[in-house]
Amino acid sequence: MTLTIGLYVFDGVEALDFAGPFEVFTTAARMHARARPQAPALMRVCTLGRTPAPVRARAGLEIRPDRAIDDHPPLDVLIVPGGVVIDELEKADVVKWIARQRGVVPIVASVCTGAFLLARAGLADGCVRRPTGKMSRSCARSSRAWRSSKACVGSTRARS
């Protein structure tokens, strides 16, 4: 079974917060394909934007989303990276889309300030505050939603 992993990107996203998990998952997929050339693909990773229009990361990198949030394949994992999320928090369609993923996507994760988007969508209800000083303690789970204070979500959550 091929897992489909979606990374939400938006104007002001922190490049490391989406590119780190992107690299971890695509590298794992390439290594799997190399070791088992006859096996189905391990995972497919796609970027998702509010629309298919390009967005700019916080430092100016242009990102062209593979799909829009209203037109993407079923996801097994959704990662909401951090960055400057103030404008995203006010986009009702984005918040509602994230909220709808709760019952559909088995794993919803955030990196850094992406947790504010999960919270606005109601996915962080009941979260227990945890220390975030070390990578081993920087990821916490609440129900089916994960959050991370660092760009460790790809490397840490992939091992869970």
pLDDT value for 157: 42
pLDDT value for 127: 61
- Scored b (16 or more CB within 10 A) or e, 24-62 reads bbeebbeeeeeeeeeeeebbbbebbbbeeeebebeeeee
68: three-class secondary structure by DSSP: strand
Name the residue type at position 101. Answer: Q
Exposure on the CB side of residue 20, measured as CA atoms within 13 A: 22
CA distance 64 to 60: 13
CA-CA distances (angstroms) from residue 66 to 23, 142, 145, 154? 16, 29, 23, 19
Fold of 3-157: Rossmann fold (3.40.50)
pLDDT value for 126: 63
Query: What residue ranges do the domains of the chain occupy?
Result: 3-157
Per-10-residue mean pLDDT of the chain, 160 residues long, equals 96 95 95 95 96 96 97 96 95 96 92 93 70 40 46 40
Nearest to 88 by CA among 128, 48, 34, 133: 48
Judge if pTM exceeds 0.75.
Answer: yes
pLDDT value for 38: 95
Nearest to 148 by CA among 18, 11, 60: 18
